[in-house]
Amino acid sequence: MKFDKILQYQKIDQELLALETEVAKSEVRQKFALAKSKLDGATATIGKLKTEANDLLNGYTAMKERIDALKAEIDEFDGILDDVQDVGEAEHYLKLVTAISEKIVALEKEANAASSRIDQVNDAYKKTWEQGVKASEAYNAARTEYNAFVGERQPRVTEIKKQLDALKPDIPEQIMKTYMSLRATKKMPAFVEYDPNKKICGRCYMEVPNDTCAKLRNAGDFAECPNCRGILFVSED
Ligand SMILES: [Zn+2]
């Protein structure tokens, strides 16, 4: 009896698969996933705004320092012009002061723009923070609901898994491996009995090609259906 245990396993496993599908497709699962993505989105936005606010603030502080330094430079010219007799020299100083003043005006303009951008970012931060708090509450509620839904099914899941674990030692490793990979890709049932006289796959109902038929002549033979990838086997009964 090469396949009776895996067939028994497959039959019991169908209920576990059904429970897993029920949970995966449930409304509470979708609500939970949506709440999580909203919370993740708010958290990411908060992080971005925080970085932007920090960068802006650093830029603003640097500009203010530069403005103060330029103002101090202008202050150094105080009194100098009073002592200058030569017109050419006076013009030279005046040009220097004008150039510095223009720099200050430009920097102040830039600093003001940064300041209003900082205000905007702060407003956006506050708003997103409030959304984040709400998203966090919604996430916690959805998680509780989801966990309760899963929890209700847990005793049955545990029971089924115990039955499956008890069967496992009697199933050849290669057959188990094949089964698990088909299960993972949701190709169920994985093992289907094949009648060498009919030459039809019992899973996808396609005609089995000759080279596959050749592998499925005697009791205990098994081969993959080239169409649906299910495992066809010849019963030993
Ligand atoms: Zn098939």
pLDDT in tens, 130-188: 999 999 999 999 999 999 999 999 999 999 999 999 999 999 998 999 999 999 988 88
- Total tally of structural domains belonging to the chain: 2
Report the amino acid identity of residue 149.
Answer: F
Tell whether 128 and 180 lie within a shared domain.
Answer: no
Q: Going by DSSP bridges, is the β-strand pair 191-193/231-233 parallel, antiparallel, or unpaired?
A: parallel
Tell whether 218 and 139 lie within a shared domain.
Answer: no
Tell whether 11 and 124 lie within a shared domain.
Answer: yes
Ligand 1 centre from 216 Cα, in Å? 14
Tell whether 207 and 132 lie within a shared domain.
Answer: no
Tell whether 140 and 176 lie within a shared domain.
Answer: no
Domain that holds residue 138: 4-170
Ligand 1 centre from 212 Cα, in Å? 11
C-alpha span between 103 and 95 (Å, rounded): 12
* Least confident interval from 89-93, 110-114, 164-168, 199-203: 89-93
Ligand 1 centre from 231 Cα, in Å? 8
| Confidence at residue 20, expressed as pLDDT on a 0 to 100 scale | 95
Tell whether 110 and 20 lie within a shared domain.
Answer: yes
State the angle between helix axes of 4-25 and 173-184 in degrees (0 to 180), rounded to the nearest 10.
20
Ligand 1 centre from 55 Cα, in Å? 61
pLDDT in tens, 15-32: 999 999 999 999 999 999
pTM score, whole prediction: 0.71
| Confidence at residue 1, expressed as pLDDT on a 0 to 100 scale | 59
Ligand 1 centre from 73 Cα, in Å? 87
Tell whether 162 and 220 lie within a shared domain.
Answer: no
pLDDT(11) > 90: yes
pLDDT in tens, 72-90: 999 988 877 777 888 888 8
Those residues whose C-beta lies under 8 Å from the C-beta of residue 160, and which sit 6 or more positions away, are 12, 13, 15, 16, 19
Q: What is the CATH number of the domain that holds 33?
A: 1.10.287.1490
How far, in Å, are 26, 189, 228 from residue 13 at the CA level? 20, 10, 20
Ligand 1 centre from 217 Cα, in Å? 17
Ligand 1 centre from 23 Cα, in Å? 28
Tell whether 136 and 117 lie within a shared domain.
Answer: yes
Tell whether 146 and 33 lie within a shared domain.
Answer: yes
